[in-house]
Amino acid sequence: VLVGSDFVLRRTAYGRKVFALGGSVEASRRAGINVTAVRVSVFAIAGLFASVGGLFWASKIAAANQSAGSGDLLMNVIAAAVIGGTSLFGGRGRTWNALLGVLVITSIQYGLALQGIATPIQYMITGGVLLATVVIDSVTRKTQKSAGRA
């Protein structure tokens, strides 16, 4: 899945449309991209990946209930993507870097658990890492924009 999605995003016209749409909706519309069709297809693919992930998660915990995805799962997913270099402001990111972000956030979680640090402190540390990453991304975008490279 990782290799296939990386190929689609980097080597096809569809992938370029997705990144263009993430960069600027109005610029994409003016470039002739069907914004509605690309958005619907991206959400459909995201839903497909989410359902496959839900099946894997249900098989891991051997149950399917409403509280299966509770806790810090959502924060860890967002933190892994952002730490991997995916911009919350759109238009930037790579599939392999997202994998690197998953490895980093998982290492942080397991390292803190091995040290015996309490769960609320783990949440704070993960949130702090996520906050630092978002601030760095925002400052980087702002300096690139002021230098005319954005």
pLDDT 10s digits, 94-142: 888 888 888 988 898 899 999 999 988 988 888 888 888 888 878 887 8
Kindly report, residue by residue over 2-35, the tens digit of the pLDDT: 999 999 989 999 999 998 888 788 888 999 999 9
Does residue 59 sit in the same domain as residue 4? yes
Does residue 59 sit in the same domain as residue 77? no
Q: What interhelical angle do 2-11 and 95-114 show, nearest 10?
A: 140
Q: How many angstroms separate the Cα of 58 from the Cα of each of 10, 73, 87, 130?
A: 31, 13, 29, 26
> Which residue among 10, 32, 64 closes a domain?
64
> Which residue among 22, 38, 64 closes a domain?
64
Residues 6+ apart with CB under 8 A from 87: 93, 137, 141
Does residue 37 sit in the same domain as residue 91? no
What is the identity of the amino acid at 60?
K
- 0.75 surpassed by pTM: no
Does residue 79 sit in the same domain as residue 150? yes
Cα–Cα distance between 73 and 87 in angstroms, integer?
A: 19
Does residue 56 sit in the same domain as residue 76? no
Q: How many domains, in total, are found in the chain?
A: 2
Kindly report, residue by residue over 26-67, the tens digit of the pLDDT: 888 999 999 999 999 999 999 999 899 888 888 888 777 777
Does residue 52 sit in the same domain as residue 75? no
Does residue 81 sit in the same domain as residue 150? yes
Question: With the CA atoms of 137, 140, 146 and 150 taken in that order, what torsion angle do they form, in degrees rounded to the nearest 10?
Answer: -70
**Residue 127 CB neighbour total at 10 angstroms:** 13
Instruction: Give the CA angle between residues 13, 101, 104 to the nearest 5°.
Output: 165
Cα–Cα distance between 93 and 25 in angstroms, integer?
A: 17
Does residue 77 sit in the same domain as residue 101? yes
Does residue 50 sit in the same domain as residue 124? no
Does residue 54 sit in the same domain as residue 79? no
> Which residue among 35, 64, 93 closes a domain?
64
Does residue 80 sit in the same domain as residue 138? yes
Does residue 28 sit in the same domain as residue 77? no
Find the domain containing 106 and state its range: 71-150
Cα–Cα distance between 23 and 141 in angstroms, integer?
A: 12
